[in-house]
Amino acid sequence: MCVVRKEEDSMIIRSPEPEVKIFVDKDPVKTSFEQWAKPGHFSRTIAKGPDTTTWIWNLHADAHDFDGHTSDLEEISRKDQLGHWSWPKDILEAHKGPFTGQGHKGLYEILTTSWHAQLSLNLAMLGSLTIVVAHHMYSMPPYPYLATDYGTQLSLFTHHMWIGGFLIVGAAAHAAIFMVRDYDPTTRYNDLLDRVLRHRDAIISHLNWACIFLGFHSFGLYIHNDTMSALGRPQDMFSDTAIQLQPVFAQWIQNTHALAPGATAPGATASTSLTWGVVILVAVGGKVALLPIPLGTADFLVHHIHAFTIHVTVLILLKGVLFARSSRLIPDKANLGFRFPCDGPGRGGTCQVSAWDHVFLGLFWMYNSISVVIFRKMQSDVWGSISDQGVVTHITGGNFAQSSITINGWLRDFLWAQASQVIQSYGSSLSAYGLFFLGAHFVWAFSLMFLFSGRGYWQELIESIVWAHNKLKVAPATQPRALSIVQGRAVGVTHYLLGGIATTWAFFLARIIAVG
């Protein structure tokens, strides 16, 4: 039907205006676990039941067969993760522990309705896997010439360690965002997560004393060695030739793997990696590809430094997650959000207490952890060359066991002595690394300007400059503003990490390319 209306000189034909109804779906994520839990809900073949072994194969195939593409988290979780695979949700909810209350009840719904919870879990797993990959790429090299390309080997290890560290910090960040934005305490009573939150003080205090114990004892061993060395008493130092602290458990694991082909794995022709033991040297083109890596007192000492730095990183990040919604000083954190600025002396002093601030501090300790790991990797490996007479000359000169048991040894024999390649690279083919080394130091130092500024100092300074310009009537129309405290920390930590990583990269490559 059309409406025709005559005007002076023209005929205008218009359709009647259509009625528009707008529907708003307040719950876009619909759940129907009862339907989905039935095997065969999405497949007639599977619905027939497990009469033959073919049913198992159909079940397997259907689990990986998307019946549509979607960006809905509920759909993706149901199709990709749990497509008829025995339904872990039902299994977990049916098995409650003795002290776990409702157990896993409701946790599946969290993972299927919160992107941040899902992302947190996956980042943690992927980060851990990346670190595992870093260690396997040199101990089980997939290509023969990769094992002798020391620059590539070191770069691959360093790269995967950094990536793993960042992913794990990202996991904590998104777990905290989930706690602030997606967690609903009114519907989560007495399940595992709720019970963990109720025990958070005990968890954090125990982790706290563990970190203090590890810190004093791991670093204290080095301080003892430095003191004895300075007093000329090498017989009283912790070393392989004096007071031994052998990593007996790690040595037992190494030995078990090395002897596995003739014992626990009688069908195997060789152990999983030559680094376990049983002296076999693999050389390619006159360079050491693989050689057993024996562990001693030096490794025992540095591994406890690893334990200390990793535990402190976990302490900071876990505290950020468990106290993301509330704390004794700030019970209304959930209303303030993931990141909020200082209250200064208000409420008993509330600087650096938001979940974002914990991620900020955790990033520094992650950087600390990974830096020790990758620097130790370059010093303690068995890389070197082999002469025609079969004499192996290691890059590190075999001094790891002596030099790495004191702080002075690390600074003198590793950090300073090995900086000669990058410092003296000007005019050589390695000059680019020397320039990167300088530039990255500048970026790193630039970060300190943001990190060491007092609360409100920059704002006050800039506004005083603006006031002076206004008095002289030379002020621009645009009013400049200093960064907020949160922004300043973000800019600071970004430059700190990027500058530090690029400095390390230039140092490593200039050194390993020159001598490797």
At 319, which amino acid appears? K
Q: Does the global pTM surpass 0.85?
A: no
Q: What's the pLDDT score for residue 40?
A: 55
Q: What's the pLDDT score for residue 433?
A: 94
Structural domain contains residue 346:
no
Structural domain contains residue 382:
no
Of 496, 466, 498, 469, nearest to 482 by C-alpha is 466
Q: CA 21, 26, 29, 35 torsion: positive or negative?
A: negative
Of 138, 129, 145, nearest to 377 by C-alpha is 138
Cα(196)–Cα(331) distance, rounded to whole angstroms? Answer: 18
Structural domain contains residue 476:
yes
Structural domain contains residue 167:
no
**Domain count of the fold of the chain:** 2
Per-residue pLDDT of the chain (516 residues; tens, 9 = 90+): 554 444 444 455 555 666 656 655 555 555 555 555 555 555 666 666 665 656 555 655 555 544 444 556 666 555 555 454 447 778 888 888 888 888 888 888 888 889 999 999 999 999 999 999 999 998 898 887 898 999 999 999 999 999 999 999 999 999 999 999 999 988 888 888 999 999 999 999 999 999 999 999 999 999 999 999 999 999 999 999 999 999 999 999 999 988 888 788 888 778 888 888 777 788 888 888 888 888 999 999 999 999 999 999 999 999 999 999 998 888 888 998 898 877 666 666 667 889 999 999 999 999 999 999 999 988 877 888 888 888 888 887 657 888 899 999 999 988 998 898 999 999 899 999 999 999 999 999 999 988 887 655 666 777 788 888 889 988 877 776 767 778 888 999 999 999 999 999 999 999 999 887
Task: For residue 290, list its beta bridge partners.
Answer: 282
Cα(394)–Cα(288) distance, rounded to whole angstroms? Answer: 9
Cα(394)–Cα(385) distance, rounded to whole angstroms? Answer: 7
Cα(332)–Cα(322) distance, rounded to whole angstroms? Answer: 14
At 262, which amino acid appears? G
Cα(324)–Cα(177) distance, rounded to whole angstroms? Answer: 8
Structural domain contains residue 272:
no
Cα(402)–Cα(229) distance, rounded to whole angstroms? Answer: 11
Q: Which 3 state secondary structure label does DSSP give 357?
A: helix
Q: What's the pLDDT score for residue 507?
A: 95
Q: Residues of 117-126 as b/e, b for ≥16 C-beta within 10 angstroms?
A: bbbbbebbeb
Q: Can you give the three-state secondary structure of 181-203, one letter per residue?
A: HCCCCCCCCCCHHHHHHHCHHHH
Structural domain contains residue 50:
yes
Q: What's the pLDDT score for residue 492?
A: 94
Q: What's the pLDDT score for residue 96?
A: 84
Q: What's the pLDDT score for residue 111?
A: 85
Cα 293 to chain centroid distance, Å, stands at: 26
Q: What's the pLDDT score for residue 7?
A: 47
Residue 151 backbone dihedrals phi, psi, to 5 degrees? -65, -45
Q: What's the pLDDT score for residue 23?
A: 58
CA distances from 274 to 39, 257, 280, 377 (A): 47, 10, 7, 17
Structural domain contains residue 335:
no
Q: Which residue, 65, 86, 107, sits at the end of a domain?
A: 86
At 305, which amino acid appears? I
Structural domain contains residue 456:
yes
Cα(147)–Cα(139) distance, rounded to whole angstroms? Answer: 9
Task: Tell me the residue range of the domain where 488 lies.
Answer: 424-516
Q: What's the pLDDT score for residue 69?
A: 47
Q: Please provide the size of the chain in residues.
A: 516
At 236, which amino acid appears? D
